[in-house]
Amino acid sequence: MPELHDAFRPGNVAVITGAASGIGLAAARRFAGMGLKVCLADWDEARLEREASALGEAALAAPTDVSDRASVEALAAVVAERLGPVSVLMNNAAVDAGGDALSNPDTWDRLLGVNLHGVIHGVQAFVPAMADRGAPGLVINTGSKQGVTAPPGNTAYNVSKAAVKTLTEGLAHTLRNRDGCRVSAHLLVPGFTYTGLTAQRIPERPPAAWTPDQVIDRMLSGIAAGDFYLWCEDNETPRATDEKRILWAAQDLIDNRPALSRWHPEWKAAFERFMAG
């Protein structure tokens, strides 16, 4: 495994949203074990305090509603005062309640408020100061494979994660063209992962699902290798399968096929031949 990024030096500060469970909590535990000072941010105050306490004095619990810009700006102020300059920012908070394009507008507003605007708020509250320091830094935004291939069933979630992908790509371009900036942006793309959100629907982890720790392993190795897309497999879908699905989805536009042709009955056989070939 390549050496860890300089942003992970012991004593540096990491901020993680959605840190009370799942991938965010796995990251907080790993970062604390690496000697970083970690701020755990989440809306679940009771669980947040419990998990931060378990990490010891180097952890700070900060109840935060990422959908509220003022709450995230207050988080940035608390971190600066209590922990110091930030080296690692992980915008990870998300909800998955959503629906199709015609579903409840309030649900859409809540989901986009957390999944998209929460990332925007985090980027805008923390990254300018990180970039101006001239020190090594990382911004890790959690996306999803659903933001790339857009499977039907939860359009709202797909939209939010597709937007996070585009946002993070643009941020990476901005940072690498900023004079003196040593901060890089990365998109974490989990596959089927058994998190707190998943557990609400499935009581036990299916054999196909990765654990949050496996996602963090992949994240760290990808960052060390200089990857932008921190693509995660799972226990039933190898990367080669994901790559072919991505190519098929891109070809919809090039060939002017029906939207989401992978799931269109008239294109089912063609998709199966493509995957087999």
Give the integer Cα–Cα distance in Å for 271 and 262.
6
Catalytic site residues?
157
Q: To 5 degrees, how large is the angle CA 54–CA 233–CA 183?
A: 65
Query: What string of DSSP letters covers 54-89?
Result: HH-TTEEEEE--TTSHHHHHHHHHHHHHHT-SEEEE
Token readout for 188 is 């974490």
Give the integer Cα–Cα distance in Å for 19 and 216.
13
Nearest CA-CA partner of 267 in 248, 254, 250: 248
